[in-house]
Structure 1
Amino acid sequence: MTDTRMLDQGTQPIRFARGWHCLGLASDFADGKPHAVQGFGTKLVVWQGGNGELNVLDGYCRHMGGDLTQGEVKGDHIACPFHDWRWGGDGKCKEIPYARRVPLRARTQRYETVVRNGQLLMWHDPEGSAADHELLPPELPDVMTDKYTPWSWHTKEINGSHCRELIDNVADMAHFYYVHFAFPTSFRNIFDGHTATQFMESKGRPDTMGGGYGDENSTLKSVATYYGPSYMINWLEVDYKGFITEVILINCHIPTGPTSFTLQYGISVRKPEGLDEKTCAYIAERYTESFGDGFLQDVAIWENKVAVQNPLLCEEDGPVYQLRRWYEQFYVDVADIAPEMTDRFEFEVDTTKANEYWHAEVADNLAKRAAAEADAEAAAPADA
Structure 2
Amino acid sequence: MGGTTPEQDEVRMIETGSNPTRFARGWHCLGLADTFRDGRPHEVKAFGQTAVVFARRDGTIHMIDAFCRHMGGNLARGAVKGDEIACPFHDWRWNGEGRCVGVPYARRVPLRARTTAWITMERNGLLFAWNDPQGNPPPPDVTIPEIEGYGTDRWSEWSWKSYLVEGAHCREIVDNVVDMAHFFYVHYQIPRYFKNVFEGHVASQYMRSTGRDDIKTGVQMDLPDAVTRSEASYYGPSFMLDTIWTESDGDVVEAKLVNCHYPITPDSFLLQYGIVVEKKPGMPDEQAQVMAQTFIDGLEVQFLQDVEIWKHKSRIDNPLLTEEDGPVYQLRRWYQQFYVDVEDVTPEMVRRFEFEVDCDHAIATWEAESREAAARAANAPA
Q: TM-score, normalised by structure 1?
A: 0.95
Q: Give the whole-Å Cα distance in 2 for the aligned partners of 1:211 and 1:358.
A: 20
CA contact (8 A) 1:181 1:214 kept: no
Pairing 1:74–2:81 present: yes
8 A Cα contact 2:68 2:74, kept in partner: yes
**Matched ranges for 1:354-365 at <5 A:** 354-365=362-373
Counterpart AA for 1:289: D
CA shift for structure 1 position 214: 8.2
What is the deviation of 1:308? Answer: 0.5
Q: How does 1:319-330 map to 2 (within 5 A)?
A: 319-330=327-338
Q: Which residue of 2 aligns with 1:231?
A: 239
Tell me which residue corresponds to 1:124.
Answer: 131
Residue 64 of structure 2 is aligned to residue 57 of structure 1: yes
SS of the counterpart of 1:303?
A: helix
Cα distance in structure 1, aligned partners of 2:21 and 2:346: 20
CA distance in 2: counterparts of 1:241 and 1:182, whole angstroms: 19
User: What is the CA–CA distance in structure 2 between the aligned matches of 1:247 and 1:36, rounded to whole Å?
Assistant: 31
Q: Which 10-residue stretch deviates more, 157-166 or 268-277?
A: 268-277
Alignment correspondent of 2:3: none
For 1:315, the equivalent position in structure 2 comes to 323
The 1-side partners of 2:219 and 2:176 are apart by 14
Looking at structure 2, the residues matched to 266 and 214 of structure 1 have their Cα atoms a distance apart, in angstroms, of 16
SS of equivalent residue, structure 1 residue 146? coil
* Distance in 2 separating the partners of 1:200 and 1:190: 12
Q: In 2, are the aligned partners of 1:213 and 1:294 still within 8 Å (CA)? A: no
Describe the SS at the equivalent of 2:375: helix
Describe the shift of the 1:172–1:213 C-alpha distance in structure 2 as closer, same or farther (beyond 3 A).
farther
The aligned residue for residue 202 of structure 1 is 209
Cα offsets for 1:49-90 (capped at 9, x unmatched):
123221100111111211110011111111111111111111
| SS of residue matched to 1:291 | helix
* Partner Cα separation in structure 1 for residue 11 and residue 348 of structure 2: 30
1:107 corresponds to 2:114: yes
- Residues 221, 295 of structure 2: 8 Å contact kept: no
> What's the % identity of the aligned pairs?
51
Match of 1:12 in 2: 19
Asked if the contact 1:40/1:257 (under 8 Å) is kept, the reply is: yes
Question: In 2, distance between residues paired with 1:287 and 1:272?
Answer: 16
2:280 aligned with 1:272: yes
Please list, as runs of the form range in 1=range in 2, the aligned pairs for 1:281-300 lying within 5 A after superposition. Answer: 281-300=289-308
Residue identity opposite 1:77 in structure 2: E
The 3-state SS of whatever aligns with 2:141 is helix
Deviations 1:86-120 (A, max 9, x none): 11111111111112221111100000111100111
Alignment of 1:184-199 (within 5 A): 184-199=191-206
Tell me the SS of whatever aligns to 1:170: helix
When the two chains are superposed, the root-mean-square deviation of aligned CA atoms in Å is 1.3
Q: Which letter maps to 2:196?
A: N
1:168 to 160, 163, 175: 175
After alignment, is 184-193 or 201-210 more displaced? 201-210
Secondary structure at 2:12 match in 1: coil
Question: Match of 1:136?
Answer: 143
Contact persistence 2:56–2:82 (CA under 8 A): yes
The aligned counterpart of 1:345 is 353
Question: In structure 1, how many angstroms separate the alpha carbons of the residues matched to 2:220 and 2:282?
Answer: 26
Q: Distance in 1 between matches of 2:105 and 2:130?
A: 34
Amino acid at match of 1:191: F
**Mapped partners of 1:101, 1:152: distance in 2:** 47
User: Quick check: 1:174–1:317 contact (8 Å CA) kept in 2?
Assistant: yes
What 5-or-longer segments of structure 1 have no aligned partner?
377-384
Q: Which amino acid aligns with 2:43?
A: A
Q: TM-score, structure 2 length as denominator? A: 0.95
- Deviation, 1:213, is 4.5
Is the contact made by 1:203 and 1:219 (CA closer than 8 Å) also made in structure 2? yes
